[in-house]
Chains A and B, each alone.
Chain A
C-alpha cells in the first residue's frame, strides 16, 4: 500500500471501524480503514454504491466518531468537525434564505476580518459568480449552486476540502466544466482534497491518487497513482489503461 510517513501526513486514518446498530443486529459499515493523505494531495475514493464511502467521509471530517481506531489531522486526533476541513456534499448546503454574498460570508462570522464583503466578493468572482452576489439560491442553476458552495468553503481558507460526490447531480458538460475550474482554483490555492466519487473518469481527471474501496463493510482494496501532469487528456492510452484497471478492481470489465 502506498503510504506517506505518518508523521508528515495531513490526514492520517488509522484502522477506523464503524458499525451501525439496528434492533439487535450490528451492521459493520467501515471495517478497518487505513489511509494517509499528504499535504496538498488530491485523493479520490471510489467504491460501489452503498459501500460506506459517505460514512467513511463523515468519520474523517469529524461528523461521526469511529468505534475503533482514530483520525489524525496534522498529527492531532480529530474529534469534531472544524473549519479547518470543509465538507461539500452531493445534496449541497447553501442556505436558501441567504443571498450568495451572505452565504459566502457565513463562515467568516466571529472572525476579526474587517472586509468580509470584500473577501466574499473575491471568491464569488473566482468561481464565476460575479454579478450574482445579491441573488438568492433559488434564482441560481445547479451548477451555480455548486460554485457558490465551493466559494463558501474557500472563503474560510480551509486546509482540507472533503467532497462527497459534489458534481454527481450535474449534467456531464457542466460537471466537466466545473472540474476544470476546480483544478484551476486548486493550482492557485493549495488545498488537500479528499473526494468521494463513483465516476472513474472524474477521479483520473482530478486526483493524484485513487483509492478503490471494497463493498460493505468497506476497506481500502487497491491504490492507484495517477502520474499524469495537468492538463490531463482522458483519451490518452495511459489514461484509458488506468481506467480499465480501476474498473476491473470495481468488478467491471470495460
Chain B
C-alpha cells in the first residue's frame, strides 16, 4: 500500500505525458507521428510475426558477449593495477586517455577491423564497458582500509589467503558498482552499434522501421522496449548489490 502511494506521482506524470502526446498528435493531424495506441498495435504486430524476440535476443546476445569479455579482462587487470603500483603508473595514463573517447567514435575503426557482422558491436560494447570497470576495480583496491591489510600482515597469512579473504571481498562491492555502470553503457552502445549495418537487433529495428516506410510506430515501440530492458538489466545488477558477499558494504 505504501509502495503504491509512493509510485502514484510517477504514474501520474507518465499518464499526463501519454495524454499530452495523444492530444498533440490528434490536434496537429500528423500522419507520420503515431499515437500511443498505434505504438501498441505496432508492438503487437512485432510480437505476432516473431521479429520482436529475434531483435531482443540478438541485442542481448551481443551485450552478453561484449560485456562478458570486458568483465573477464577488467577484473583481473583492475586488481593487478590496484595492487601493483608499477602496473598502475604504467597503464593508468593510457586508460585515462582512452576512457573519455565516446564508443561511437570507435565505429569506423570497428567496421575497418571487424566488418559489419556481429563482431563490430561486440567490440564496441567491449570498448565502452571495459574502462569504467577497470577504473572502479582499481579504485576499490586503492580504497581498502589499511587496518584490514595490517591485520592480515599481522597474522602472517599467505598471499593466496590475503587475496581470497581480504582483497577480493573488500573490492567486490566496487566491482559490482563497476559492472552496473559497464552494463548500462553496454546497453546504450549496442543500440547505437546496431544502427550501422546489421540485419537484427533493436537498433536495427529502429533504423529499418524508419527507412522502410516511415513506420514511426515501430521506431517508438523499439525505443520503449530498449528503455524497459535497460531498466530490467539495471534491476538485475541492483539485486547483485544485495548479495550476501557485498551486503556488508551497505549495512550501516
A binding-site residues for B, Cβ under 8 Å: 61, 63, 81-83, 86-87, 89, 91-93, 95-98, 102, 106-107, 109-110, 136-139, 156
How many B residues are at the interface, by size bracket? 20 to 34
With both beta carbons as reference points, the residue of chain A lying nearest to B246 in the complex is identified as A97
A96–B248 CB distance below 8 A: yes
Q: Which of B148, B155, B157 has most chain A Cβ within 10 Å?
A: B155
Q: In angstroms, how far is the closest chain A Cβ from the Cβ of B175?
A: 13
Of B106-114, B165-173, B195-203, B220-228, the stretch lying at the interface with chain A is: B165-173
B4 touches A (CB below 8 Å): no
A98–B165 CB distance below 8 A: yes
B161–A136 CB distance below 8 A: no
B45 touches A (CB below 8 Å): no
Interface of A, secondary structure class, is loop
B binding-site residues for A, Cβ under 8 Å: 147-148, 150-158, 161, 165-166, 169-170, 172, 245, 247-249, 251-252
A97–B245 CB distance below 8 A: yes
B155–A86 CB distance below 8 A: yes
B147–A83 CB distance below 8 A: no
Q: Which A-B residue pairs are the 3 nearest by beta carbons?
A: A93-B151, A97-B169, A107-B155
- A contact residues around B249 at 8 Å (CB): 96
Inter-chain CA distance A96–B249, complex, in Å, is 8
Q: What are 27 A-B contacts with C-beta separation under 8 Å?
A: A61-B154, A81-B156, A82-B154, A83-B154, A83-B155, A87-B150, A87-B151, A87-B154, A91-B147, A93-B147, A93-B148, A95-B148, A95-B151, A95-B165, A95-B166, A96-B249, A97-B172, A106-B152, A106-B155, A109-B158, A109-B161, A109-B165, A110-B157, A110-B158, A138-B251, A138-B252, A139-B251
Inter-chain CA distance A81–B252, complex, in Å, is 31
Q: Which of A95, A139, A156 has most chain B Cβ within 10 Å?
A: A95
Inter-chain CA distance A109–B159, complex, in Å, is 11
Indicate which residue in A63, A89, A107 contacts B157 across the interface (CB closer than 8 Å).
A107
Inter-chain CA distance A97–B155, complex, in Å, is 17
Q: Which of A63, A102, A110 has most chain B Cβ within 10 Å?
A: A110
A89–B147 CB distance below 8 A: yes
- A contact residues around B155 at 8 Å (CB): 83, 86, 106-107, 109, 156
Q: In angstroms, how far is the closest chain B Cβ from the Cβ of A83?
A: 5
- B contact residues around A86 at 8 Å (CB): 154-155
- B contact residues around A89 at 8 Å (CB): 147
Inter-chain CA distance A138–B251, complex, in Å, is 7
A97–B170 CB distance below 8 A: yes
Q: Knowing A92-B147, A95-B148, A95-B165 touch, does A81 contact B157 (C-beta < 8 A)?
A: no
- A contact residues around B248 at 8 Å (CB): 96-97, 136-138
Q: Knowing A136-B248, A137-B248 touch, does A95 contact B169 (C-beta < 8 A)?
A: yes
Q: In angstroms, how far is the closest chain B Cβ from the Cβ of A166?
A: 13
B157–A106 CB distance below 8 A: yes
Inter-chain CA distance A136–B249, complex, in Å, is 11
With both beta carbons as reference points, the residue of chain B lying nearest to A105 in the complex is identified as B165
Q: In angstroms, how far is the closest chain B Cβ from the Cβ of A251?
A: 31
